[in-house]
Structure 1
């Protein structure tokens, strides 16, 4: 990661580097969002082909092949929105080149990190004392399923994240549903949205401990749909952390439609909430065809816990 990030920075002019690199202590590191907006960093549109290749190599390293395909598909959905919303080809609001890379600190020296961010994609990586974190990690999809008559028609970028959740929901017996379904109507947005620190008052829903063996397997498969987005080392690291905190304490909570009524329903929401981590999935906008999903670490987003330990050791 240090080598690839240094290589990317080495391709940049002085002016580009001023946009692409800040100190690790800069407040922009935790200022994140998944909507179209002006954001710090160097966007793809201001990079040469070689610079883009170097930037995307950073992303390809930390994601699995599956995760990398999803990230590129999310970027490509900007082209779909241009057509659906009748925007011109040079529109800058729905723009597949408006995804920015931003490095914090010096690669390989002390705490450092980087992010890539644009509409419906916000991925953050922190490296502290040889350890790496990847949260908050947001992937969204608008449309959830491409219905328009475009080359991407029928595409469902976050298919597993939706289908495996319904599969788990449909395995629950009536008494289990009474615990798992906490509201009949889904919220219009993820509860934690783009908060600096993810926090919920309590864990709700049904626990892994209260599921049958087959249901536990379905629940595990759903969690893995998120962890498989990342390099196998990061995936295994996160799973081991969940095991250490206690898998039986992980809750599954549901709100809204109990069938995927694409573009015609009121939408649905679920969350996976454990002692140390949180996953939220919301598909309520556009009649249930506009997905937001996020993975949060309740103690270590932006490497917060690792940074605290680093400073304790250093001082």
Structure 2
């Protein structure tokens, strides 16, 4: 799991025939909802434009296709997507996923023009704006976690002591906003993944979630926080928009007590 890696060294463009490439595109397409498919492809096709934009990515298949014990994984620059037959029990998306985008260069402008995923940060910033002064002091921190491969989305299992403000300390209307924002973060993905993700988040305890924003990584220094996260005992959604967008997500069914 990383922001640029290949689960197998062979690239799609080097090993697959045209009809096989088309099948991979269909699989990737069906991992996303109709509303956001074009934006997801705009991001994906921008990189390594040769061979339809995804030719430099790699695929791997684990287990036995045709059974419920298999997983298809596509990896490459700014992309890790998984499609499984519930072989990874209790894991939304089949395990951790990653997506990123540098829409107009490595160092994006403060408003991230053209970025397919900046809407997620805009929604998260609405949560910050809904907080009062003391709540903002609790949730606004200095530096975010480092990006360190799989460790970036390592789950702590903790319900207390996480970074930022606890959802349990928010008013009812603020809690409702956090829940709405979580649903919006999931919008690019297919319905089954959205439903499974929300089910696991709720099972882990909505009041156990914490939100944090990071002031020292504010592109443009204008108080619209580019780097933020939502974390609970069995989930982490880490959005790093400095200098461009990287987003790490990992949601699992909570462990039995």
TM-score, reference length from structure 2 = 0.79
**Residues 282, 107 of structure 1: CA spacing in aligned structure 2 closer, same or farther, 3 A cutoff?**
same
Q: Report what 2:186 is aligned to.
A: 227
Tell me the SS of whatever aligns to 2:248.
strand
Q: Offset at 1:41? A: 6.0
Task: Give the counterpart of 1:181 among 131, 137, 140.
Answer: 140
Cα distance in 1 for partners of 2:180, 2:224 equals: 26
Q: Report what 1:166 is aligned to.
A: 125
Do the aligned residues in 2 keep the contact of 1:99 with 1:117 (CA within 8 Å)? Answer: yes
Cα distance in 2 for partners of 1:266, 1:273 equals: 20
Do the aligned residues in 2 keep the contact of 1:74 with 1:121 (CA within 8 Å)? Answer: no
**Residues 123, 144 of structure 1: CA spacing in aligned structure 2 closer, same or farther, 3 A cutoff?**
farther
Q: Which has the higher contact order (CA 8 A, sep 6+)?
A: 2
Do the aligned residues in 2 keep the contact of 1:276 with 1:298 (CA within 8 Å)? Answer: yes
Q: Offset at 1:129? A: 6.0
Do the aligned residues in 1 keep the contact of 2:226 with 2:242 (CA within 8 Å)? Answer: yes
Cα distance in 1 for partners of 2:225, 2:170 equals: 25
Matched residue pairs, number?
A: 245
Task: Give the counterpart of 1:137 among 85, 88, 97.
Answer: 97
Uncovered stretches (5+) of structure 1, i.e. residues with no partner: 1-31, 80-88, 306-315
- Give the alignment's Cα RMSD to 1 decimal: 3.5
Q: Report what 1:294 is aligned to.
A: 248
The equivalences for 1:11-90 within 5 A come to: 32-35=1-4, 39-40=7-8, 43-46=11-14, 47-78=16-47
Cα distance in 2 for partners of 1:38, 1:238 equals: 25
Task: Give the counterpart of 1:277 among 226, 235, 238.
Answer: 235
Q: Offset at 1:140? A: 0.6
Cα distance in 2 for partners of 1:298, 1:133 equals: 6
Cα distance in 1 for partners of 2:80, 2:209 equals: 25
Q: Report what 1:254 is aligned to.
A: 213
